[in-house]
Amino acid sequence: MKLFAVAQPGLEEATYRELKELNINGNVIPGGVEFEGDLKEIYLTNLWLRTASRILLRLCSFRAKHFGELVRKATKCNWENYITPELSIKIRVTSRKSKLYHTKAIEERILKAIAEKLGFQPKLAKYEDEGTSVIVRFEKDICTINVNTSGAMLHKRGYRVAETEAPIRENIAAAMIILSNWDKRTPFIDPFCGSGTIPIEAALLAANIPPGINRTFAFMKWKNFDLALWEEIKKEAENKRKEITVPIFGFDIDPKAVKAAEKNAKAAGVSKYVGFKQASFPFLSIKKATVITNPPYGERLKIRRTKLLYVHFGDWIRSNFSECEAYFITDKVSFAKSVSENVEEITNFSNGGIKVRLYRYRWEKEKGEVQNESF
């Protein structure tokens, strides 16, 4: 089967690295990573991938320039395992540079093809995670039909029980950590932790806890769902858990954020590994640290005040650690340069609809600001 791990544009490399860790060879393309596999690979990737949004099964692909051709060719797709009379279906269509461009009409023809193939009219769902989600994409008259194997998006781990303003998605937090090459032995610090997502994702990674261990997936409702294989994969995952000995800290000036972070860490099962504290740039008796964080942007604070915050952030790194690698995201180059002129852009992506850049800043007390190496 042809499969596709959907990733945030700009973060595909992190998903590719995760697939390699699972011994799955993939091909990076804009928006994700293509790979091949069977039910085992579908189960593994949904269970383990921290940075992907969903796993799609490429059901079929063909050229269609008129609706009759679309229905005829879509009828030949292997719908049997993924759609049943009991399961409702949600179809999402996009079309670009194609003669068939009316998305609602395309959706109607896909439903017609399914009904002709299976002999019943499938029930319609309002949301993608209700039953079977089918994603249809037209690009230059090529129609690609995908089945969403995940259901709800994979960033929904189930542990976010308390929210704060402008939280970062779990898969983006995980991607920042993976792209940092954190060794899981160096103390990990987030000085703007908010509801705790980045430290929690660090703890899940260090403890080797699968992000999908406590949730359900769309593939569990398929006709060909292999319960024995799924249970075996989960059991193997449980046996791979590790105890964490490295310190992981989250700090925030807002006491409500700290309380939310503590609740979320408990829900994620990592509260014994992560320490949260109300503080602003605290002094720490740690010589070497990895700092990964999502500081405030100008949308939430006045630009002049925000710039000053980034200046203090850079000063805190230089005065508090003998050696530090810091990774942070922000939407303005001027904010990043306020930390240091020697920051390096790693990649860029969208966070909450805002285009941001991921920066790296390396500091050693004896050498000063370390010249950045190629990423």
* pTM for this entry: 0.93
Task: Using pLDDT thresholds of 50, 70 and 90, give the confidence band for residue 374.
Answer: very low
Among 252-256, 306-310, 365-369, which is the least confidently predicted range? 365-369
Span 278-300, average pLDDT: 89
Residue-level pLDDT at 375: 38
Q: Are 177 and 205 in contact (CB under 8 A)?
A: yes
Q: Is the pLDDT of residue 372 over 60?
A: no
pLDDT in tens, 193-239: 999 999 999 999 999 999 999 899 999 999 999 999 999 999 999 99
pLDDT in tens, 71-91: 999 999 999 999 999 889 999
User: At 275, phi and psi to the nearest 5?
Assistant: -110, 125
| Number of CB atoms found within 10 A of residue 215's CB | 17
Q: Are 135 and 146 in contact (CB under 8 A)?
A: yes
| Position 320, amino acid | N
Token digits of residue 237: 């995952």
Q: Is the pLDDT of residue 299 over 80?
A: no
Q: Is the pLDDT of residue 38 over 80?
A: yes
State in Å, rounded, how far the first CA of the chain is from the last one.
33
Q: Please provide the average confidence, as pLDDT, over all residues in the chain.
A: 94
Residue-level pLDDT at 126: 86
Q: Which residue has the higher pLDDT, 86 or 264?
A: 264
Q: Is the pLDDT of residue 266 over 70?
A: yes
